[in-house]
Structure 1
Amino acid sequence: MTEPVDLLLKNVTLPDGRVADVSVDRGVVRHVGAPLRAAETVDCSRLLCLPAAVDMHVHMRGGEQAYKENFATGTASAVAGGVTVVVDQPNTIPPITTAERLRSRVEEAHRQAVCGFAVNAGVTGDADLAGMWRAGALAFGETFAAPSSYGEALPPEILAPLFERIRQLGGLATVHAEEVAGDRPLATLTGHDRARPAAGEVLAVTAVGRLAPPGLRLHFCHLSTADAVDAARGSVEVTPHHLFLSREAFDPDDAAGKVNPPLRSERERKRLWSRWEKIDVIASDHAPHTHGEKSRGIAAAPSGIPGVETMVPLLVAEARKRRIPLPSVIEKTSWKPADLLGIPRAGFAPGDRADYALYPESIAKVDPDQLHSRCGWSPYAGYDAVFPAEVIVQGVRAYHDGAVAAALPRWHPGAGYNTSEDL
């Protein structure tokens, strides 16, 4: 008799509407259809089984910023929200601009993470792009075409040759595109919006598109306006906070709503939703800061909002209300980011990565006290969400009953990993 597979997911409703049993072994799908004998079984008949998300834009902090997040707390937060791969951005302290720093960051993640992870390479005038590509960087950036927290803007004369080098390497260039108008102290969220205006985002997206050489794989991070989505050349990423939050949702001087690009008006927020079909990827731009840091006032407080745990649950609630199609949630949170980054898809075909999140039928409210991020707060308190009852990582029941049950770190290096010195 053959050995049993590791896990059987019974009565899974597949994206095409069929109901089947999914047999999983050694972290991948072995068979879809009639059940194979399994060591463990999960009945999904009353649960929504979705391929787990890949969040291609997170800031896991750590190091001297570990008081507000690290890989242990950040990835626990991710898994609790149905995310099983996170892509860490390089504007750490110090920034990841050398192969040595990138390897050190990967080692830190291996020690602490409870799910899959990858690390991007920083893009600066003196960065060792080829060395980091060989060391396993998944992508390049976010590359700052405007300044943001822990990231300095690159002028066109520096950015253009860096883009050409990334094209030669075959990497994906991810870009933070804004224009900053003036340097006056800001007292309100409206002032912050005006200092980083919607029109300037469109101009920056257009300028970056013109600057990028033919053949460069270009990805725009966290676009906040409908017009910027329309103007983008390359793949487009939008965050939940730009879809669900507007500056009118906060008191004018509440820095909990301060983020780059800024939260826009309620009218612009609704216009961004109208571009849903043009958006390639939803990513959280999870950028946690403490209550104390966000209480300093608009001018002094750092920009950033936590969101890796609430990203998919907010979208699943919208799908439950039939406001967005569930297949598009899968596409934008799981399959498209995996394809852009070269990570194997989680899914329901033999050989697919066996990462899933199982969601109940009921809609709940976001309670910050129940979230897992170290920063301890959320801008989505009271918002409708559907949190997973269970999350499966690499074919293992890794999260249930509100807690992480198994730590399964897995590094996803980029295509340049261990390539030749001739790059």
Structure 2
Amino acid sequence: MNTVLIKNANIVNEGTIFNGDVYIENGIFKEIASQITVKSPNVQIIDAKGKYLLPGVIDDQVHFREPGLTHKATIETESRAAVAGGITSFIEMPNTVPQTTTIEKLEDKFEIASKTSYANYSFMFGGTNDNLDEILKVDPRKVAGLKLFLGSSTGNMLVDNPEVLEKIFSSTDLVISVHCEDEQTIRDNTAKYKAKYGDDIPIEMHPVIRSEEACYISSSNAVALAKKTGARLHVFHLSTAKELELFSNDIPLKDKKITAEVCIHHLWFSDADYKEKGTLIKWNPAVKTAKDRSALFEALLDDRLDVIATDHAPHTTEEKENVYTKAPSGGPLVQHALPAMLEFYHKDKISLEKIVEKMCHNPAILFQVEKRGYIKEGYHADAVLVDLNAPWTVDKDNVAYKCGWSPFEGTTFTSRITHTLINGSLVYEDFKFYDVKNGQRLTFDR
């Protein structure tokens, strides 16, 4: 019997912080109390005095590149990096090679994860213009949801047939998660700047090419279609102030039919950072202005934005160093997302309780994840211990991503993740990984 006792922790959960002990038995939170005494000689005791115990983070949007793109990353390498960042569960995207657009390919990915993932896992099923029959086969209790690219797709995953799109929205009860950028607007803008600069377009033009207009056209159309059809819509990685008018905070998250996410990079960086970081911070949607960043943070705090995610999407440095038109968009983030949000806490921009709400509780509510995202008796024991006063600097020697780099290199974080537990097993402690692949397939209460 695997037993763990966490002593003297400041437990951050459901809007409160209280000091206490947490007893874990067979991967489940068994008891939470001000003081717990366990006499078993086999119990593993973790002294958490002065530290904060958070539920494990649930990241609802990652690209771990397996199968087919494993020179960039694998489920094993990126889930390992994730647990170093306090992320204990992830939902991975379908634009791998081959794409996850059939039940057979979906189950292939689950099989890989069952053997190699350090963290708990699920996968999005990918929609196309011609796979509605496959979409309807998806078991909503066993799969996180449906991902639609309404712009910036790879392969044939751009869903640009309005009739097909409406039929998909009308036919499934799955959470439909969407990438929203208007493809025609982007093509027109790209052609304009390519005519001026050739392939070596200045990176500062990225948020001009992938503009506020491109984002708003697409996201407003998606929201309108969801309202028309009654679909359950979740809009990924908002990047503009203008889009925020499409979302509300007047009802509880569990009752919302239309929800939205913000990613770490859109909260941290602005277009002023392109000069220093170049294509390392080239993302789709683009990092935009400081004004947009401030508006996104305000909407996060007032609950128009429901969850924080990473959109972790690693590429090699060689790929990122290409000229603008050939440099891929995306970057690695899972290891540094929680430390980045804790830095905002130190700057009095957000509370610990709000960070836990947006990174742990709300993803569980939004996707109806069974018995995760909280420190509750009877729930799976996914948890993270944080020392809020243990500064460390990101450098290549402590980056855990397979790609070997981070957009946060040179950044000193005030807070350090000291322990990560997955299903009651210690998998990470103070920059040390244990070879414990204890991740489980997520299930959903639907």
TM, length-normalised to structure 2: 0.87
Deviations 1:73-107 (A, max 9, x none): 01001000000101110111111111100010100
Residue number in structure 1 paired with 2:9: 12
Q: Match of 1:101, as an amino acid? A: K
Structure 2 counterpart SS, 1:178: coil
In the TM superposition, residue 415 of structure 1 has moved relative to its aligned partner by 5.7
Partner of 1:371: 399
2:306 to 250, 265, 280: 280
Of 219, 243, 262 in structure 2, the residue corresponding to residue 238 of structure 1 is: 262
Unaligned residue ranges in structure 1 (runs of 5+):
417-423
Is 1:407 aligned to 2:431, yes or no?
Answer: no
- Residue in structure 1 matching 2:101, options 91, 97, 100: 97
Query: What is the DSSP-based 3-state SS (H/G/I as helix, E as strand, rest coil) of the residue aligned with 1:250?
Result: helix
The 1-side partners of 2:121 and 2:366 are apart by: 15
Q: Where do residues 181-192 of structure 1 align in structure 2 (5 Å cutoff)?
A: 181=185, 182=188, 183-184=190-191, 185=194, 187-192=201-206
1:197–1:153 distance in 2 versus 1, CA, 3 Å: farther
Q: 1:276 to 1:68 in 2, by over 3 A?
A: same
1:218 pairs, out of 206, 212, 233, with: 233
Residues 305/149 of structure 1: CA separation in 2 closer, same or farther (3 Å cut):
farther
TM-superposed CA distance for 1:134, in Å, is 6.6
Alignment of 1:83-122 (within 5 A): 83-122=87-126
Give identity over the alignment, percent: 27
Partner of 1:32, secondary structure, is strand
Q: Return the offset for 1:315.
A: 0.4
Give the whole-Å Cα distance in 1 for the aligned partners of 2:159 and 2:416: 37
Equivalence map 1:327-342=2 (5 Å): 327-342=353-368
TM-score, normalization by structure 1: 0.91
What SS does the corresponding residue of 2:137 show, helix, strand or coil? helix
Give the letter aligned to residue 376 of structure 1. G
Change (3 A) 1:353 1:83: same
Greater shift in the superposed pair: 227-236 or 197-206: 227-236
Q: Is the 8 A contact 1:188 1:253 kept in 2?
A: no
* Distance (Å, rounded) in 1 between the aligned partners of 2:288 and 2:400: 27
Contact 1:97 1:132 in 2 (8 A): no
Which amino acid in 2 is paired with 1:226? Answer: A
Match of 1:179 in 2: 182
Deviations 1:149-174 (A, max 9, x none): 454242322211111112xxx21000
Cα deviation, residue 266, structure 1: 2.6
1:298 and 1:263 mapped to 2: Cα distance? 15
Return closer, same or farther for 1:411/1:147 CA change in 2, 3 Å cut-off.
same
Local SS of the residue matching 2:428: strand
Secondary structure of 2:416's aligned partner: coil
**AA of the residue aligned to 2:4:** L
Q: Give the whole-Å Cα distance in 2 for the aligned partners of 1:252 and 1:320.
A: 24
2-structure distance, mates of 1:123, 1:232: 24
What 5-or-longer segments of structure 2 have no aligned partner?
Answer: 249-257
How far residue 248 of structure 1 moved from its aligned partner, in angstroms, is: 1.8
1:46 aligns with 50
The alignment yields a C-alpha RMSD, in angstroms, of 2.0
Q: d(CA) in 1 for partners of 2:77 and 2:312?
A: 12
Displacement after TM superposition at 1:274 (Å): 2.4
Aligned AA (1:144): F
Task: Flag the 1:253–1:19 CA change in 2: closer, same or farther, 3 A.
Answer: closer
Counterpart-to-counterpart distance in 1, 2:372 and 2:244: 25
Read off the aligned partner of 1:158 and give its amino acid letter: V
Contact 1:240 1:283 in 2 (8 A): yes
Greater alpha carbon shift after TM alignment, 256-265 vs 147-156: 147-156
Matched AA of 2:204 = T
Q: Indicate whether 1:356 and 2:353 are aligned.
A: no
Residue 278 (structure 2) aligns with: 254
Per mean C-alpha deviation after superposition, the further-off stretch among 38-47 and 114-123 is 38-47
Provide the rounded CA distance (Å) in 1 between the counterparts of 2:154 and 2:337: 21
Contact 2:10 2:18 (C-alpha < 8 Å) held by counterparts: yes
The answer to whether the 8 Å contact 1:89/1:120 transfers is yes
